[in-house]
Every structure is written in structure tokens, then in C-alpha cells.
């Protein structure tokens, strides 16, 4: 009978009931697969990157909660997390993370040497992010690299190398991460100020909303230019328009800087990413 409560703790640890987190990583990775393959990349790579994204995001949650356990107890939104509340031990949480990361690596082993090599760099950035919040004024930029690393890995998996286009798309995607994770940081700004945590919401101050809108704009512009939107066809433009309309809705949600509005805007971002991905995928049909 003790198995079910323990399983529930593990599921809480990896945020199983909050799929928005891994969807934010998935859509740019799938979009990169389609671009790299010049169309549908095959079910094997779709499955590898989908399952791998879920596993690595879950492993990242384990590391993040262990690293932030002493800070999270002072934040309203995170005080009841399994590790922070003491319901799950540090070693046990890390063990869960290791198992999940090894499962993800097992999937990577079914691809090619280039993808395997880049997976170590992706892991290093993932492990570095939780500690960047102590030293970097804009730790969301570090998260942006971590959350965008599926893009070069997708190109490596399809083409066996990472072209300049992949790094450009990563740069553009980094600005999307800056946008939505600053929205996320705005939720906890008061608590983070009290405990001395560094976030983009604190660094940007009263320019936070304007900066977020700018980040969205840079993201969509870079992807539109690099993917040659002028010649890609109507579906790509429909996807970009859908994303731009959502940016407008996010402005409405965050302009008053309420916790509820900012958190809702963050949680809805995966639909923005889906719009871009759908436009790209359909442009090859």
C-alpha cells in the first residue's frame, strides 16, 4: 500500500500534472526536425525527441528541486514541493533524476554519433541552470540555452552535423524562453526579492512587460527571417500570425503584473510554440 503514495510523490516531483513544461521544449525541437529533414523526419526521430524531451524535463525538475530546496521553502508557489517539504529525500530525488536521464540517453543511443556527442553538452547546460540563479542577473538566458538545445540535436540527428542555421534558430528560441520565463519569474518576484534570488523579472524592473513583448518580437522575427518566410507559403504565415495574436493576449494578461495573469500567460506559451511548429510542418505538405 505504500507504493502508491511514493509513486504520487515521484509524479509530483517531475510535475507530471503540468505538461506545459515539456511541451515548451518539444515544439522547437520538432520544428527543427522538420526543417532539418526538409519535411517529415520519420517516426523514429519523432518518438526519440518526444520521449526524450519528457524524460529530460522530468530529470531537470529533480535537479532543480534539490538545488533550490532551501530557497523554495520561502516561495508561496513552491513551498510544498516534495523535496522542499521534506516528504522526499535529496538522494532519492537525485536517484529518480539519474534514472530518467539514463533512459533519455538510451533513446539518444539509437540515433548517431553526432547527436550522442551533443547530448553531453545539453546535459551540462541543464545541470548548470539551477545554480545560475545565484550568480547571473538574467538566469533565464541560461535556461534559454538549455531549453533550446533540442534544436542543434535535431539537426545532428537528421544531418549528422549542426549547421549555422541551427544555431541561429537556437538564438531566436532563446528569446522566446526569455519571454515566457520572465513571465514565470514575475509570479515570484516579491518572494525572490526577499530571499536574494536573481531573476530577469527583478533585473528588468519596470521594463519587464516591454522587454517581454520585445523578446517575443525578436523570436518570431529571427525564425521568420532564417526560415525564409517570404517563400515558405501561406501555412507558415498562418502559424506566425497565430503566434503573434497570442503575444497580444499575453500582453493583456501581464500588463497589470498580477500573479494570476503572469502565471496564466506562462502556462499558455506552449500553444504559441505549437502555432509556430504547426506552421512549419504544414509548410512542407
The domain covering 3-283 belongs, at the CATH homologous superfamily level, to: UbiA prenyltransferase (1.10.357.140)
Residue 16: Cβ-neighbour burial (10 angstroms; 0-12, 13-18, 19+): middle
Task: Find, among 92, 39, 90, the residue nearest to 68 by Cα.
Answer: 90
Q: Is the model more confident about 222 or about 141?
A: 222
pLDDT digits (tens, 9 = 90+) for 248-275: 999 999 999 999 999 999 999 999 999 9
Domain spans in the chain, listed from the N-terminal domain onward: 3-283
**Closest C-alpha among 105, 131, 135, 138 to residue 120:** 105
pLDDT in tens, 54-92: 999 999 888 888 887 877 777 777 778 888 887 888 899
Tell me what pLDDT residue 139 has. 81
Which range, of 17-26, 69-78, 235-244, averages the lowest pLDDT? 69-78
Measured over the CA atoms of residue 36, residue 39, residue 45 and residue 46, the dihedral's sign is positive
Asked whether 225 and 163 are in contact (CB, 8 A), the reply is: no
Residue 89's pLDDT is what? 87
221 in Cβ contact with 173 (< 8 Å): no
pLDDT value at residue 1 = 42
Burial of 228 (0-12, 13-18, 19+ CB in 10 A): exposed
Classify 11 as helix, strand or coil: helix
Q: Which helix (H) or strand (E) is 91 found in, with range?
A: helix 90-108
Amino acid at each position: 500500500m505504500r507504493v502508491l503514495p511514493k509513486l504520487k510523490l515521484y509524479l509530483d516531483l517531475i510535475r507530471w500534472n503540468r505538461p506545459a513544461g515539456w511541451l515548451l521544449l518539444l515544439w522547437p525541437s520538432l520544428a527543427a526536425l522538420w526543417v532539418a529533414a526538409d519535411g517529415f523526419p520519420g517516426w523514429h526521430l519523432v518518438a526519440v525527441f518526444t520521449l526524450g524531451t519528457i524524460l529530460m524535463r522530468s530529470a531537470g525538475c529533480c535537479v532543480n528541486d534539490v538545488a533550490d530546496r532551501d530557497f523554495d521553502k520561502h516561495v508561496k508557489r513552491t513551498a510544498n514541493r516534495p523535496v522542499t517539504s521534506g516528504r522526499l529525500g535529496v538522494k532519492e530525488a537525485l536517484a529518480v533524476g539519474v534514472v530518467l536521464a539514463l533512459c533519455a540517453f538510451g533513446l539518444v543511443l539509437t540515433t548517431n554519433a553526432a547527436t550522442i556527442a551533443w547530448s553531453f553538452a545539453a546535459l551540462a547546460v541543464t545541470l548548470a541552470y539551477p545554480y545560475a540563479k545565484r550568480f547571473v542577473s538574467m538566469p533565464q538566458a541560461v535556461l534559454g540555452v538549455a531549453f533550446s538545445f533540442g534544436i542543434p540535436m535535431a539537426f545532428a540527428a537528421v544531418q549528422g552535423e549542426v549547421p549555422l542555421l541551427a544555431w541561429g534558430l537556437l538564438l531566436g528560441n532563446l528569446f522566446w524562453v526569455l519571454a515566457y520565463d520572465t513571465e514565470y519569474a514575475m509570479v515570484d518576484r516579491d518572494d525572490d526579492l526577499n530571499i536574494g534570488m536573481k531573476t530577469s523579472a527583478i533585473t528588468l524592473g519596470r521594463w519587464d512587460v516591454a522587454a517581454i513583448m520585445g523578446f517575443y518580437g525578436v523570436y518570431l522575427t529571427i525564425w521568420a527571417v532564417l526560415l525564409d518566410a517570404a517563400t515558405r507559403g501561406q501555412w507558415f504565415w498562418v502559424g506566425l500570425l497565430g503566434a503573434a495574436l497570442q503575444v497580444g493576449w499575453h500582453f493583456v494578461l501581464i500588463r497589470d503584473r498580477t500573479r494570476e495573469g503572469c502565471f496564466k500567460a506562462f502556462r499558455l506559451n506552449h500553444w504559441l510554440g505549437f502555432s509556430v511548429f504547426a506552421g512549419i510542418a504544414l509548410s512542407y505538405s
